[in-house]
Amino acid sequence: RLANAVTPLWRLPYQEQLQVKYESQRKILQTLTSCLEELGIDAQKAGGLCCPLQPVVPSPIINGYRNKSTFSVNRGPDGNPKTVGLYVGTGRGRNIVCVKANHVENIPSKHKQVAQCYEEFISCSPLDSCILFHEGGHWRELVVRTSSCGHTMAIITFHPQQLGQEALATQKALLREFFTRGPGAVCALTSLYFQESTMTRCSHEQSPYQLLHGAPHIFEELLGLKFRISPDAFFQVNTAGAEVLYQAVGELCQATEDTVLLDICCGTGEFLSSQSFAFQSWSSLLSKVIGVEVVEKAIEDAEWNAEFNGISNCEFHSGKAEAVLPQLLASWEDARPLVAVVNPSRAGLHSRVVRAIRNCRSIRSLLYISCKPEGEAMRNFLELCCPPDPRKKLAGEPFAPVLAIPFDMFPHTVHCELVLLFTR
């Protein structure tokens, strides 16, 4: 049941998985085409789609490709309230259970090992797991991050409830002892973090990640460059797939020596740095690179990554894109052409971000990378392409989709990363 829920395509041969994803991306483009037609735009091109759809680009690695996994703590099928795994069931159906992820094919063995050791630790703890905040309990989720450099970071979320500082210090010491000298030492963690959180999700600014052991960061190599990654920084979960994605996106940018690359939702700067500067020819082709990212630690990582890799012609802006970008582009008087790359979360871009892009005449090309193009991203597509609309303050010339390329960043799942190239 867990494999079917988390990796529903796992029984299919890989080529059949790619075909299933191609058909789903085709349906998404058909929906976009129909919506554009409803706006009075003659969108149908060859094949009845608004732009050509290329075959799905396969992932170089099919099994165990995830470099980040999040495990929950809850009741298992046997009733054990300290089971560490992934959820099966729904809250509405009141049939949620937490199942060990031992047989899930997209999770690497190292992540499963850390999850098993964490379960062993909390099973011996006198403190309860925190299933419902108001019912008490302390032990919560586990995040494991790994890299191709052999680094392993574990982040344990803990609900403090009414515990004092002395009791919290005791638990942190026990965790450190278990994973450095006890049975958990087999995991060979290079970083062990602890976060006290009374919320479902908590940023570093809201509640700092406390380093209990090891180095504050893990490091990854991408397209020959080195990247520093903080506990809550975004990094593509499929490193090998990201290399293929970024190489293709770089080619689609068609940059010249006058081009300024604007990366919105830039994460740790892996696109900015790896794609824009992985090859010496790129550093001479691009005039400047600008990154915008909401997570402050990710910006710190991006700045470190740029400096470490000898990249000098880029700048990073910390803050929500909807707050930073309009002001940044409104004051843009540079004659150099702008190429924008956006890689938002599943929630898509804020309407103010779309408006700022539409109304900036210097942006002639836009690459939209979406992990859920059928969701809120569809609204973004329509706002980018619709006729000028004074009510929405969309005054700039509309974009038009010219090419769609799906990338399989998530084998065995139904998800796909769709790259849409818009021009005007």
pLDDT for 206-257, tens place per residue?
A: 789 999 999 999 999 887 788 888 898 878 899 999 989 988 887 888 777 7
Q: Are 370 and 420 in contact (CB under 8 A)?
A: yes
Q: Look-up: residue for tokens 């959180």?
A: 197
CB atoms within 10 A of CB 106: 24
Q: At a CB cut-off of 8 Å and minimum separation 6, what does 314 contact?
A: 269, 272, 273, 276, 288, 289, 290, 291, 306
Which part of the chain has CATH 3.40.50.150?
16-60+238-423
Tokens, residue 91: 């809250």
Can you give the pLDDT at residue 274? 37
Q: Are 192 and 179 in contact (CB under 8 A)?
A: yes
H-type alpha helices, 143-203: 165-180
Residue 119 buriedness (CB in 10 A; 0-12 / 13-18 / 19+): buried
Q: What is the pTM of this model?
A: 0.88
Q: Are 334 and 260 in contact (CB under 8 A)?
A: yes
Superfamily of domain 16-60+238-423: Vaccinia Virus protein VP39 (3.40.50.150)
Supply the DSSP symbol for 61: -
Known binding-site residues for S-adenosyl-L-methionine equal: 236, 293, 343
Can you give the pLDDT at residue 265? 66
Handedness of CA 371, 377, 378, 383 (dihedral sign): negative
Active-site residues, by number, are: 371
C-alpha to C-alpha distance for 302 and 271, rounded to whole angstroms:
10
C-alpha to C-alpha distance for 413 and 17, rounded to whole angstroms:
9
How many Cα atoms within 13 Å fall on the side-chain side of residue 341? 29
Query: Helix or strand or coil: residue 270?
Result: helix
Strand partners, 342: 264, 368
CB atoms within 10 A of CB 321: 22
Phi, psi of 422 (to 5 degrees): -110, 140
Top-level class of domain 68-216: mainly beta
Can you give the pLDDT at residue 223? 78
Buried b (16+ CB within 10 A) or exposed e, 15-46: eebbebbbebbbebbbebbebbeeeebebeee
Task: Report the candidate in 56, 148, 16 with the shortest Cα–Cα distance to residue 416.
Answer: 56
List the 314-318 sheet strands across, edge first: 314-318, 286-293, 259-264, 338-342, 363-370, 417-423, 400-407
Listed in order, strand segments (DSSP E) in 329-390 are 338-342, 363-370
Query: Helix or strand or coil: residue 244?
Result: helix
Known binding-site residues equal: 236, 293, 343
Residues of the chain with pLDDT under 70: 265-287, 294-295, 297-298, 335
CB atoms within 10 A of CB 145: 27
Which part of the chain has CATH 2.40.50.1070?
68-216
312-354 pLDDT per residue, tens: 777 777 778 778 888 888 777 776 778 888 888 888 888 888 9
How many Cα atoms within 13 Å fall on the side-chain side of residue 173? 6
Task: Report the candidate in 300, 154, 301 with the shortest Cα–Cα distance to residue 227.
Answer: 301
